[in-house]
Each structure stands twice: as structure tokens, then as C-alpha cells.
Amino acid sequence: MKADPNYQAKWHNIINLFQISSQTMKQFSDEHNVKVHQLQYWLKKIKLSALQESNPFIEVKIDKYL
């Protein structure tokens, strides 16, 4: 089951705020009324989805007549 796009967008915003802050996870979580484990979960989820969206492979053409 996929998460609600609005909920995902909410967490993308929270993660962006956290990344530009100079706060620890605990400080940020307390200030923004989220749990540390939620912040950790969504950080990991967003990083993994970004890695999956980017293609880590490059095309290599091989000349069979060396």
C-alpha cells in the first residue's frame, strides 16, 4: 500500500526543514512535534527513493573490432 501523496509531501517538507536546520534530531523533533523514529524513518525512505529514481548505471559501448 502506497502512502497518501499529501502525507508524503508533508514529510518531504519536514525533512527539508530538518536538513537545513543545525539541530539534532532530538531538538528538531521536540520543536516540530514529531517523533525521532518518524524522522529517521522518513529520512531513510526519502534517501532510498532518491537512489532508486536515479540510474546508477551508464551506457558503455564496446567496439567488437579492437
Residue 20 has pLDDT above 80, yes or no: yes
Provide the 8-state DSSP code for 53: H
Higher pLDDT among residues 34 and 1, named by residue: 34
Sign of the four-CA dihedral 31, 32, 35, 39: negative
pTM: 0.70
The reported pLDDT for the residue numbered 47 is 86
CA distances 19 to 13, 14, 27, Å, are 10, 9, 13
Residue 1 has pLDDT above 60, yes or no: no
